[in-house]
């Protein structure tokens, strides 16, 4: 098939891109100077750019391409669905087969009585839905003042007004006067950066108890829900100490606060179970999903809701929804993606085979002189770079400057790893093979060596 990329040289594509395309989370001026790297194709875990370079994508795009790139089965399903029914909405008492089948499948896969799905186009939209849904839930129960959602510093819940407000990213709050009212943030369970002299277990407990303090300070009758990622992703892959989640669950139960698990990254196998909530042993009332739901082959997200919340919401007309809620093509793609995850035992491989293989190799990076900590759960991992391993000390100067150097060495060495401050993070496609894991680790080690040499 002829496409624009078959015709234009890289420099021209870069110039057009800089002239007309405003990139998300980018400094547009810097990007225009440097020129974007243009990705043209991908299969498995490998991207190809417009210069023909092959790059190992250790981030699965944006933590989403769980079944890997280039799946013909998904392309076929999408083409079939577009021919049969490319669009119809699910408003006003209509439905269609793909959305019905996907909802039943998600109810089967989700733990406990999480049996009902409200669809969105993305993770951010799913969290917007959650914010509105929990308020309607409490209003229906005669408690309209229960509106506050408690979240955490350095959480990521999306980029819409509600998503960015629920998130705890200061640079996002600084642009545009966020958070919106009725969102409250408590400290995160990041022992590496904030644990000081406590043990991880003591620290996990302390940070969970911040939730109880916040509920008591704000008033039990004002707090609607607590939202959190089972493992913080965009915050730098922060795996909470083992004491954290059981205490959070105890507090939510005690005060009857709804627990929203944002599974946008952790869902669909990333942590070695279908959902991160299972890995962390929690029982949320609502789970936000997106990304791995379709492995990024189509934009689709949603909220999986427990029986009780669904029943209460069903008592009124919920005046909320998106044109693309339950889009038939996206739903068909998601269903096919779930079939692949199941039939190829991909979640089980993350738990028992390639996952442990990656974990062993990743943790061994802690022996590198630049690495103070290497942590990983399932197939999401981080290494913390530090000039002083014993003290977990940060670098002098700008936080993130060394991480950026390392990311650039990765990029030049055909490996995509992301940096969050001075943490390097990975979240590869869940289908990565052992040979590809070896390549990932070799390239990461080389990037660390080059970084060390550069900052000496």
Site residues, ligand PLP (CB under 6 A): 62, 122-124, 127, 156-159, 163, 229, 233-234, 262, 264-265, 290, 301
Instruction: Tell me 365's DSSP state.
Output: G
Residues 303, 287: contact at Cβ < 8 Å? Answer: yes
The distance of closest approach from Cβ of residue 287 to ligand PLP in the complex, given in angstroms and rounded to an integer, is 11
Instruction: Tell me 115's DSSP state.
Output: E
Which CB sits closer to ligand PLP, 287 or 402? 287
**H or E stretch covering 183:** strand 183-186
Which CB sits closer to ligand PLP, 42 or 162? 162
Q: Is residue 243 helix, strand or coil?
A: coil
Dist. CA 235–CA 155, nearest whole Å: 6
Which CB sits closer to ligand PLP, 128 or 436? 128
**H or E stretch covering 151:** strand 148-152
Q: How many CB atoms lie within 10 A of CB 94?
A: 9
**H or E stretch covering 135:** helix 123-140
Smallest CA-to-CA distance from 209 within 261, 259, 246 is with 246
Alpha carbon of 413 to those of 260, 359, 370: distances in Å? 39, 22, 18
Edge to edge, what strands does the sheet with 39-43 contain?
Answer: 39-43, 46-49, 54-57, 415-416
The distance of closest approach from Cβ of residue 343 to ligand PLP in the complex, given in angstroms and rounded to an integer, is 26
Which CB sits closer to ligand PLP, 290 or 416? 290
Which CB sits closer to ligand PLP, 205 or 264? 264
Which CB sits closer to ligand PLP, 150 or 234? 234
Q: Three-class SS string for 19-75?
A: HHCCCCCCCHHHHHHHCCCCEEEEEECEEEECCCCEEEECCHHHHCCCCCECCHHHH
The distance of closest approach from Cβ of residue 234 to ligand PLP in the complex, given in angstroms and rounded to an integer, is 5
The distance of closest approach from Cβ of residue 262 to ligand PLP in the complex, given in angstroms and rounded to an integer, is 4
- Rounded to 5 degrees, φ, ψ at 419 are -115, 140
Closest residue to ligand PLP, based on beta-carbon distance:
123
The distance of closest approach from Cβ of residue 364 to ligand PLP in the complex, given in angstroms and rounded to an integer, is 27
Which CB sits closer to ligand PLP, 13 or 102? 102
Which CB sits closer to ligand PLP, 230 or 394? 230
The distance of closest approach from Cβ of residue 357 to ligand PLP in the complex, given in angstroms and rounded to an integer, is 25
Dist. CA 224–CA 345, nearest whole Å: 38
The distance of closest approach from Cβ of residue 235 to ligand PLP in the complex, given in angstroms and rounded to an integer, is 9
Dist. CA 62–CA 294, nearest whole Å: 13
The distance of closest approach from Cβ of residue 155 to ligand PLP in the complex, given in angstroms and rounded to an integer, is 8
Which CB sits closer to ligand PLP, 158 or 241? 158
**Beta strand residue intervals within 98-147, DSSP E:** 114-120
34 CB-side CA count, 13 A: 10
The distance of closest approach from Cβ of residue 196 to ligand PLP in the complex, given in angstroms and rounded to an integer, is 27
The distance of closest approach from Cβ of residue 284 to ligand PLP in the complex, given in angstroms and rounded to an integer, is 13
Q: What is the dihedral of CA 108, 114, 116, 119, to 10 degrees?
A: -100
Which CB sits closer to ligand PLP, 26 or 454? 26
């Amino acid at each position: 098939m002829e496409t624009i990329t078959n015709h234009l040289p890289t420099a021209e594509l870069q110039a057009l891109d800089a002239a007309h395309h405003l990139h998300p989370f980018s400094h547009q001026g810097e990007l225009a100077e440097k020129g974007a790297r243009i990705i043209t194709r991908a299969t498995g875990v490998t991207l190809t750019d417009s210069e023909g370079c092959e790059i190992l994508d250790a981030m699965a795009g944006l933590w989403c391409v769980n079944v890997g790139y280039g799946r013909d089965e998904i392309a076929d399903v999408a083409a079939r669905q577009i021919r049969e029914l490319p669009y119809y909405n699910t408003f006003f008492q209509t439905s269609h087969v793909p959305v019905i089948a996907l909802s039943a499948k998600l109810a089967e896969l989700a733990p406990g009585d999480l049996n009902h799905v409200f669809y969105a186009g993305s993770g951010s939209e799913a969290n917007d839905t959650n914010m509105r849904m929990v308020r309607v839930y409490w209003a229906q129960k005669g408690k309209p003042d229960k509106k506050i959602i408690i979240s955490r510093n350095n959480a990521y819940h999306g980029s819409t007004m509600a998503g960015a407000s629920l998130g705890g990213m200061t640079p996002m709050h600084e642009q545009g006067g966020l958070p919106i009212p009725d969102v409250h943030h408590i400290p995160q369970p990041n022992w590496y950066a904030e644990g000081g002299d406590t043990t991880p277990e003591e620290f996990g407990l302390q940070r969970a108890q911040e939730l109880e303090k916040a509920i008591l300070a704000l008033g039990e009758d004002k707090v609607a829900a607590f939202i959190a990622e089972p493992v913080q992703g965009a915050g730098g892959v922060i795996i909470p100490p083992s004491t954290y989640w059981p205490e959070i669950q105890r507090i939510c139960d005690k005060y009857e606060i709804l627990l929203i698990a944002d599974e946008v990254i952790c869902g669909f196998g990333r942590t070695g179970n279908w959902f991160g909530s299972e890995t962390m042993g929690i029982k949320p009332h609502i789970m936000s999903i997106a990304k791995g739901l379709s492995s990024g082959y189509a934009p689709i997200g949603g909220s999986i809701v427990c029986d009780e919340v669904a029943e209460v919401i069903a008592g009124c007309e919920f005046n909320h929804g998106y044109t693309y809620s339950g889009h038939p093509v996206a739903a068909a793609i998601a269903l096919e993606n779930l079939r692949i995850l199941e039939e190829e035992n991909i979640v089980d491989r993350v738990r028992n085979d390639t996952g442990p293989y990656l974990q062993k190799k990743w943790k061994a990076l802690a022996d590198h002189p630049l690495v103070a900590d290497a942590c990983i759960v399932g197939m999401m991992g981080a290494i913390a770079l530090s000039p002083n391993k014993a003290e977990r000390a940060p670098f002098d100067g700008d936080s993130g400057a060394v991480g950026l150097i390392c990311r650039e060495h990765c990029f030049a060495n055909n490996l995509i790893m992301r940096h969050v401050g001075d943490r390097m993070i990975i979240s590869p496609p869940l289908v990565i093979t052992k040979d590809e894991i070896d390549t990932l680790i070799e390239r990461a080690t080389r990037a660390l060596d080059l970084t060390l040499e550069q900052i000496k």
